[in-house]
Amino acid sequence: MRKPVIDISECVLCDICVEMCPDIFIKNQAGYIEIADNVPDTVYQSLEDDINDVIKTCRGDCISWGEET
């Protein structure tokens, strides 16, 4: 199942991803964005369109789909 990945070095911490898709993108205690743990594959499938919208909207242009696992 492919999952989104974030290039944190380009992230501008605009929080758009967290606002648009909070089931997948979370802000950790250090204040950085990360992909939520233990998200079932079915959730990625059902949110694929939402995640694609986030990828297009991301201010840092730093989210992409990772390799299939």
How many residues bind ligand SF4, per CB under 6 A? 14
Tell which residue, 25, 32, 26, 28, has the closest CA to residue 54.
Answer: 25
The reply on whether position 21 binds ligand SF4 by CB under 6 A is: no
Which distant-in-sequence residues (6+ apart) come within 8 Å of 69 by Cβ? 1, 2, 3
Kindly tell me which of 19 and 42 has the beta carbon lying closer to ligand SF4: 19
Residue carrying the six token digits 């898709």: 21
Kindly tell me which of 13 and 43 has the beta carbon lying closer to ligand SF4: 13
Interface contacts to ligand SF4, rule CB under 6 A: 6, 11-17, 33, 58-60, 62-63
